Each structure stands twice: as structure tokens, then as C-alpha cells.
Structure 1
Amino acid sequence: MFEFPQINKSSVKNDVLSGLTVALALVPEAVAFAFVAGVEPMIGLYAAFMVGLVTAIFGGRPGMISGATGAMAVVMVALVSEHGVQYLFAAVLLAGLLQVLFGTFHLGKFIRMVPHSVMIGFVNGLAIIIFLAQLGQFKVKDAAGNLTWLQGEAMYIMLGLIALTMAIIHFLPKLTNAVPSTLVAILVVTLLVYFVPALDTRTVLDFLQSMTGDENATIAGTLPTFALPAVPFTLETLQIILPYSLILAAVGLIESLLTLTVVDEMTGTRGRPNKECVAQGASNMINGVFGGMGGCAMIGQSMININSGGRGRLSGITAALALLAFILFASGLIEIVPLAALVGVMFIVVLGTFEWASFKMMRNVPVKDAFVIVLVSAVTVVTDLAIAVFVGVIVSALVFAWEHARHIHAKVDQNKEKTEKSYSINGPLFFGSVSNFLELFDVQNDPRHVVVDFAESRVADHSAIEAISVLNERYVKEGKKLHIRHLSKDCRKLLHKAGVLVEMNVIEDPSYAVASDKLG
């Protein structure tokens, strides 16, 4: 079955060096997502710093990297264009509050309901999205302002530097693990381009100036400052931002909790979903009052961190503080980093994130699971992550219900005097199986007393209660008595509330355990 690679424990050196590597990759991502959302680059950089720092310190998954993300940025576009950036800050603030409430009420455990096939589709879909996002770096604006593909020597230099970056990342660990190969690759390619004028290729500064259309654009900035969103605190404002806040909160939590699960598998440890929800919510609330666009976990940067040796909270803290240091003191150094080096890093992330074994798996797993993997991957690419996960879970649930609806059957036994007949039900009784359940009984030919034994079954929902009620009415019409045995306490309560008058054997009824919130 699908398994993530297992990674060993952390060390201070690895965490610090890995954090520096992640910080370098965060810069162009944060700038790009800021433009997707329709806000200034510094708003994206501030968000990457604040979300990354708060979740690294207080989050439930050490080693996981958070920042400004494309999944949330696409939700913000309409709000910013229609109402302005101040309404975005208010929406992010409210979204953060909703996420804190989500974690406070221990709802993070529901991530366990996401099927494994949906998880595979999630990582495959995100790998494709990360790959497609990098293709934009192969385009430049022509004289008319239109984006066109690189041509000739520029394209060859770009491809060559990407290949060199990927080769260093792949082969250096075979020689030494003293430093993260990703960091070495970025430094080598940057120095090569800086000292070899013939290797004329686009840098982070070129990217920023191309995005802004401003030749004086820079990532240099100051510390974010506190300011409440400049919006009227009225019911009308709430009506405007609430729909966006709900979507932002949902998208952020889904991407974070699924990324948390992936990192759990890779590190062989267990994160705390509810704690992550609260930390992410707090970070977004801080963003709302310090001028950031908010964010959530980033699977691409998390993979860079894990693959570079980052395991502890120090890696995320280092990444956030290094990003702030770049903004305040070292913008000139970051601006000369070639885009080719960062694209090469992300291509390695794509190769490591995509579950290539899923192609082979298609021949071995049930058709329904293969279909869900492909469906979730496709929907993730075409729409967004939240919709893809919802679709995957719903389809998986419907398939599960359809399959288990056919699994209900009964073992029939009758006493020698033929005065009592027993039906031992096997399989869950729920909306999908009620028709098959009712067909198990021979009401007209059964004796006066009929016993239905639920020791190997479970009354799951209101449709099941209605089915028992209908069955009881059928026997009553025939002048016969229906008895129920081995029914759990909660199921008996449901029957009583529904007013189903059926004799029940209470002494032999079992009790069912319930999942605990302690591990959340």
C-alpha cells in the first residue's frame, strides 16, 4: 500500500541550515501568491513571516512549514478587487478566529475521516500544481506586455542551471550529509551566475520587477506595524467578509491538516491537529492586524524542509526569522538568486511529492480507490484543494455505502415447536441497506413470535429506525409480536425517541466505545 519515506530525527544544525534553505524558496513564492491575490509583494512576505513563525512555535507539527499559499490566494482575488485590501485583512482576521474555534472544540480529529485514496490524490494533485506553477518562470514579457516563452540561448541557460541544481540536490547526499544539498545547490548556482557574466539569466529581482512593472521594485522593507483593518465594524461589513472568511478558514485547515498527515508519515511521528488549528488561526488573526494576507501549511516548502533534514520547531522558526532578516537587512543578497535554482529545487519537490507508485498501484487496488485517486488529483488541479477533498470524501463515502448496503444478511433459526423464529442480522443497518434488510423477513409465514438479533449489526441512522418501525408494523398487522435483542443503549434511545414500540432484551445488549479527543 501507499507509504511515505521514513526520515530520522532532528538536530540543531540540520534545523538551522534547512530553515535557511526554506527561507530562500519562500521569497518568490510569497511574492507570486501576493500577485495572485492582487496585493503588494510585501503583504505576501509579511504573511510568510508571521504565519511561519507563529505556527513553528505553537503549532502541532514540528518541521512543517507554513506561509502565504496559492490555495488561499485564489479565494482572496474577488474580495480585494471588489472591496480593497483592508477588507482582506478583516476577512483574514475573522478566518483566523474561526480556525481557533475549530481547534478549541477539538474538530481537527475529523481529518482522520479522509480516506487514504484521497490523501494520494491530494499529494499528486499538489505536485502537479507545483510543477505547473514553475512553468511561469520560463516566460517573459515582450515589448507589448504579453508573456512569451523564453527562446534560444536564454532557454538553454535556464534549463542547464535547473539541471545543475537538481543534479547537486540528488548526488551530493551520496557524498556527504554535512549540509543540506538543497542549500548547497542554491549557493553554487547563485555564485556561478554571479561570477560568470555569460550565464545571463533571470533572478529574484528580475521576477519582482517583472511582476510589479516597476524597475525600482525591491523586497527590502521594514517591520510590519499594528493597525486594525480600516473597515466599518458593522453588520454590512460582516456580511461581505463572512463568506470569504469561511472559505479561507476551510481551505487553510484542509491543506494544513492533510500536509500534517503527510509529514507524520514521513517522520514516523504524530502531530496534533487541534493544536495546529489553533496556532494557524492565531497566526491569521495576527496577520489581520499586522497587514499580512494570511496563509496555511505549504506542502512544497515542508517537503524541502524535511528533505533537507529539518525536523524540529527550530527549522520553521529559522525559516521565518531568516525571511524577516532578508527583508530588513539582506534583500540585495536574495535578489541575485537565479530563478533557475529555485525552479530546480521545486522540481525536486515535485518528484519527491508525487506518489509514482500510484501508477503501479492502479492495477492492484480496487477500481473505486483508483478512480478516487485520479478524481481528487484532477479536481485539485482544475479547481482547488478544498473542493477536491470534499469531492473525494463524498465519492468514497457513497461507494462505501453502496458496497455495505449489499453486505447485510441474516442467519435464520426456528425452535422445534415452530412458535418462535430468530433472525440474526449481520452487517450495518443504515439508509443504504434498509431495502435489503426488509427483504430478509417472511412476515406472512413467520410464527407468532419473531426475534431480531443485532449482536453482529448496528442501527446507524434514522432510516434504519424507520425500517425497524416498518417491520414492526408489518408483523402487528399479521397479529404477531416482534422482539429485538442485543441492541446498544444509544440505538435503544433512538428507537424510543422515534416512538417505535418494540420489545427489547436489555440484559444482553452491548455497549460501544467512542473515539476520544485526547489524541487531537
Structure 2
Amino acid sequence: MLSQLFQPKLLSSLRGYSRQQFGLDLAAGLTVGVLALPLAMAFAIASGCSPSSGIWTAIVAGLLISLLGGSRVQIGGPTGAFIPIVYGIVTVHGMGQLQAATMLAGAILLLMGLSRLGQLIRFIPVTVVIGFTNGIAVVIFLAQIKDFFGLPVAQVPAEFFQRAQVLLQAAPQFDLVTTLLASGCLVFLLLYNRLTLFLPWLARIPGPLTTLVLGTLAAIVLDLPVATIGSRFGGISAELPAPALPSISLHHIGALISPAITIALLGAIESLLSARVADGQIDDQHDPNQELIAQGLANLCAPLFGGIAATGAIARTSTNIRCGGRTPIAGIVHAVVLLLIVVVAAPLAAHVPLAVLAAIVMAVALHMGDWAALRELHRYSWNYRSILLSTFILTVLFDLTIAVEIGMVLACLLFIYRIADLTRLELLTLPSSASPEISAWRLSGSLFFGAVNKIEALIQPGLAQKKVLILDLSQLFQLDTSGLEALQNLQRQLHKQGCQLLCCGVLPQPASLMQRSGFTQQLGAQWLSPDLHAALASAEQYLKQELVGIAL
């Protein structure tokens, strides 16, 4: 049983593994490892944590996700999507509580994977995914304003309106040197792909790394008076942190459940989305449940080494694929490369300006948003626009948890409305030879709790003056208990008014529910016909018997 649940892609990838593929995985791992360094530091700082926490997250979580994951090419680590969530938890509860919430989220992800719930993530509507992704991108961008402009703000609030007020009050005190350095780095990074057309050798070096090196050199050579990792955090330690459980009291657990669920949900969505995108690039199919198991274990272990929340990173995974990585070995190499960089070059990180890292994160935010979806909203239905915009606005102004919850509720309500709207009740035209005491109606679609009002029209006194009402259910593909109750009520009301209900053409699913509930016995087998033609014959026979009874 355990062997069926736990099947990392690493095991199947090593079958027939060649020296040539190892060379490609090694080159890809080196490239992604170098790329991950500035991103890990930048995401951690933007989240209100130390740069070391981001690096150790990339090392520990990245290693476990590659070792145990369900994708051959997934690269794991801290991502920009977690910035607003992590920042909010750190601001309100502190670093220890963040690590506890991350471990709780890891346990949730692990249980989701073991329970085979990986496929359920795909039921989240694309409108909700686009809405919160774009919302997160805006929140990430706005969160970098302090370091981008060098504003003298000790602590930026996590809540949107308070943050906006604090930043606006500090705006006149922006630092010109910091702003120029950050602006130059941002423009350089946004134009990086175009620069590679004129300088092809640049294409071999990740844009964020080039920006980090050039921005840091500019600050050192020109002796710019800007804030650095060293001035704010005291640098990065080259020593491996000793594993330690976060300190947390029991009365804090309740407050951390909601953030933990948010971390788990976002981590599951982003990792499986990344794996799905990667599948299309390498013509493979990931195991979503195994991927959730790996994500869960990664988020359980990373906080033990001072790390933060981690998931699959789409940008680093795509870079891995472009560089030739095709097995989890590339992801393992990426983690080892990061570890070696920390051991060898940790002291150099103290000179990295925070403005450069802010520019890198801003560029990531601009690239992660699906802005074309907002530009093309006018092409889509009102339902699509309302769900996407609601999720987007709520993510920016309030909280990702609230945004996803309301987005999902809206999506469900609008889906119910749409399905109910597809349920049709139409009057059928009977042959001229049919008795005028017979009326026939066809009910099509789905008779569920959202559409039961559709058959209330059949209880109108004018319609019940007929002696027999035939209800053709040959196009009713789904019936729930609320719909069944509506049918039972229809049968009772018609019976009180002297009208007999006759159902025909009942499909398997409605027939099964009608049988199990006892409605078939209540109605009577003689009032169930295989099709409309047989129903008309039964109705005519019933009316003849009624006439005979009256005559006698």
C-alpha cells in the first residue's frame, strides 16, 4: 500500500539514466542554482524575513521536492506568490509563528497527497486563479516601494490601507540615489531579453543574477550610500543552521489555522500548475498526489532550518527545462550549488543593495501577472468578469484567503445559476387524436436545488384541470434530493386537484434515486412508461376506464 502511495519520479527517471543526460542535468542545475540565489534572498526580504531564511528554504525544500516529488523537472523554493501571506504572518505573529504555520501547512499538504486529493485542485476555476495571481503580483509590487525608493519607514503595515497611508506620508522623504539605482536595475532587467539580441552571450546568464552583480558592483565602485544586506541584516552566515522546532504556545494554534490553510492551498495550486506547465514542455505527466506529498514534507522540514514556505517555482522550472534538465537530478544539483555558494561566498552577500533586490522582485511581479486577461475582460461574460475582478480586488485590498473564498463562492453561485438556467420545461404538442384531458410536458437538463422552481408552474390551477399530466423525463440527465422532493410535491398537489401524474423516459440516474427513495412505489409502476408514445397509450386507457367507471 505504501509503495503505491509513495512513488517519487526520481526512481523511474533513473532507469536507463545516461552520462549524456547527467551532463545536461548538471548544466541545468548549475544555471538554476545561480538563478535561485538572488530570487531566494529577494523573496525572503520582501516577506519580512532575513535573506538567509530564503536561501535555506531553497536548499532544504528544493532538495526534498526534487528527491521526493511527482514531477521530473520541478524546481522548488520560495516564490513571489507567498510574499503577501508570509509578510502578513510575520508582521502580526512573528517569525516563530510563521514557521509553525508553515509546518502546519506542510502537514495539510502531506495529508492531501496521501488522501489522493491532488486532482481536486483542478476544480478551482481559472477565473479565481487569474484573479488572485494578478492580485498577488500587485501586492508584491507595492510591497517593494519602501526599499525601491529608500523610504525611511521602520515597519510597513501588512494591511493595504494602513500601508498606503504610511508610504504616502513617507513619499516626500525618498532617497534619490536609492531610487536611481533601483530604477536602473529594473529597466535593465525588463529590457534584458532585448539586450541578449545584441549581446548573445548574455543569454547564458540569468537576468536576475546579472542585475544583482552589476547593481552591487555599481554601489561598491561608486560608493553609493544605500542600504545593503549587511547594514540591515548583518550579512549571511556560512554555517549550516542547527535544526530546531519553532517555539509556539497552544493558544496560538487557532490563530494560525487560517494562514496555514492559505499557505497549503496556494502552495498546492502553484506547484501543480508549475508541474502541469512543465508536462507540456517535456511531454510527460506528473503525479499530483506525489507532488503534494513532497511539498508537504518540504514545508515540514524547511522551517526546522529557519526556512519559510516553499512550493514549485514556474520560472525556475522553465529555466531548468530550457537548459536541458529532464530528471530530478537537476533539481538536486541546484540545491547543492546553492549550498556551495553559501559556504564559499556568503560574506560577499553583505554588499548587495536592498534596492537591487527590490527591483528584481518588482520585475518578477510584473512578469507573473496575466495582464492580458484584464485587457480582454470585455470579450467575456459578466459571470467571468465578476469572479475575476472580485478575486483580484479582494486580494489586493484585503487578504488572499478572503479573496479565494469569495471567488469560489461566487463561482459556485454563478455556476448554479447557469445550470439552473439550462433546465427547461416545455409544453409538448400532442397528436390531434389525443384526448383533450391529457397535457404533456418535457423537463430537460438538471432538476436540482437551484432549479426546482421550474416545475412549480405545473401546479397552477389552470394546468391541473386536465385529468392526466405526462412528464417526459427523457432529457433529464440529473436529479438530486431537492428535485425529487419537488416531484413528490408535484404528485401530491396534482392528486389533490384530481389530476394524475405520469412519468416517462426516465434515465438511469433519476430512476435510481426515484427507486431508492420509494417514489417509484408511491407513484405506482403503472404510472411509469418507457417513452412518450407508451405514456399516451397508458393515459388514454386510464381515461377510458374512468369513463366506464362513471357510466356504471
Contact 1:158–1:201 (CA under 8 A) maintained in structure 2: no
Paired residue type of 1:399: L
Structure 1, residues 165-186: CA drift from partner, whole Å, max 9, x if none?
Answer: 3333442156537514415623
In structure 2, the CA distance between the partners of 1:151 and 1:44, relative to structure 1 (3 Å rule), is: closer
- Change in Cα spacing, 1:349 to 1:88, as seen in structure 2 (3 Å) is closer
Partners of 2:259 and 2:479 lie apart in 1 by 31
Shift of 1:154: 3.7
> Deviation at 1:439?
1.6
Task: Please give the secondary structure, in 2, of the residue aligned with 1:432.
Answer: coil
- Structure 1: runs of 5+ lacking an equivalent: 1-8, 509-520
Say if 1:434 and 1:464, in contact at 8 Å, map to a contact too: yes
* Separation in 2, partners of 1:151, 1:90: 37
Q: How does 1:209-358 map to 2 (within 5 A)?
A: 209-210=231-232, 212=233, 217-228=234-245, 237=250, 240-242=252-254, 244-245=256-257, 247-258=259-270, 260-261=272-273, 264-265=276-277, 268=280, 270-287=285-302, 290-297=304-311, 302-303=314-315, 305-306=317-318, 309=322, 312=326, 313-314=328-329, 316-358=331-373
Structure 1 residue 42, shift from structure 2 partner: 4.4
User: What displacement does 1:331 show?
Assistant: 0.7
CA apart distance, 1:395: 0.9
1:367 counterpart = 2:382: yes
Assess if the C-alpha contact under 8 Å between 2:140 and 2:361 holds in 1. yes
**Is 1:471 paired with 2:486?**
no
Amino acid at match of 1:115: P
Tell whether 2:423 aligns with 1:408. Answer: yes
Q: Percent identity?
A: 22
Q: 2:44 aligns with which of 22, 27, 30?
A: 30
Q: Scaled by the length of structure 2, what TM-score is found?
A: 0.74
1:179 and 2:204 matched: yes
**Offset at 1:282?**
1.2
Indicate if the aligned counterparts of 1:172 and 1:181 stay in contact, CA closer than 8 A: no
State the number of aligned residues: 477
Pair 1:136 & 2:146 matched: yes
Q: Which runs of 5+ in 2 are unaligned?
A: 1-20, 157-169, 532-552
String of CA shifts for 1:461-519, please: whole Å, max 9, x gaps: 332222112112122223444344454555445445555333575979xxxxxxxxxxx
Contact 2:177/2:226, CA 8 A, preserved across alignment: no
1:86-135 per-residue CA deviation (whole Å, 9 max, x = no partner) reads x6655544432222111211222222222222222122112212211222
- Which residue does 2:65 correspond to in 1? 55
Q: Determine the C-alpha separation between the residues in 2 that align with 1:325 and 1:287.
A: 18
Q: How far, CA to CA, are the matches of 2:379 and 2:470 in structure 1? A: 42
Whole-angstrom distance in 2 between the partners of 1:142 and 1:373: 36
Residue type of the partner of 1:104?
Answer: L
Q: Distance in 2 between matches of 1:331 and 1:48?
A: 15
CA distance in 2, matches of 1:104, 1:506: 47
Q: Which amino acid is 1:18 matched to?
A: V
CA 1:377–1:55 in structure 2 vs 1: closer, same or farther (change >3 Å)?
same
Change over 3 Å in CA distance of 1:22–1:454 after alignment to 2: farther
AA at the equivalent of 1:502: L
TM-score (norm 1): 0.78
Q: Which moved more, 1:252-261 or 1:135-144?
A: 135-144
Distance 1:144 1:342, change over 3 A: closer
The equivalent of 2:397 in structure 1 is 382
**CA offsets 1:5-24 (integer angstroms, 9 cap, x no match):** xxxx9953344313311222
Q: Which amino acid aligns with 2:377?
A: M
**Residues 410 and 424 of structure 1 are in contact (CA less than 8 Å); yes or no, is this contact kept in structure 2?**
yes
Matches within 5 A, 1:392-431: 392-413=407-428, 414=430, 416-418=433-435, 421-431=439-449
Q: Per-residue deviation at 1:438?
A: 2.2
CA change 1:452–1:94 in 2 (3 A) is same
The equivalences for 1:448-467 within 5 A come to 448-467=467-486
In 2, the alpha carbon distance for the partners of 1:143 and 1:406 equals 54
Q: Could you say if the C-alpha distance between residues 494 and 219 of structure 1 is closer, same or farther in structure 2, counting changes exceeding 3 Å?
A: farther
Q: 1 CA distance for matches of 2:154 and 2:464?
A: 86
1:26, CA displacement in angstroms? Answer: 0.4
Q: 1:88 to 1:462 in 2, by over 3 A?
A: same
Residue deviations 1:177-218 (CA, integer Å, cap 9, x gap): 751441562365147426x62262646xx24532x5xxxx22
What letter is aligned with 2:211? Answer: I
> Which deviations, in whole Å up to 9, do the C-alpha atoms of 1:273-321 show, x marking residues without a partner?
3222211111222245x243541326xx533552573665455434433
More helix by share: 2
Equivalent position of 2:543 in the other structure? none
Provide the C-alpha distance between the structure 1 equivalents of 2:40 and 2:370, rounded to a whole number of angstroms.
Answer: 24
- Whether the 8 Å contact between 2:110 and 2:294 is mirrored in structure 1 is yes
Distance 1:168-1:94 versus aligned 2 partners, 3 A rule: closer
Kindly provide the CA deviation profile for residues 442-474 of structure 1, in whole angstroms up to 9, marking residues without a partner as x. 674465444433332233533222211211212
Give the AA of the match of 1:391: I
The SS at the match of 1:330 is helix
- In the TM superposition, what is the alpha-carbon distance from 1:440 to its structure 2 partner? 4.8
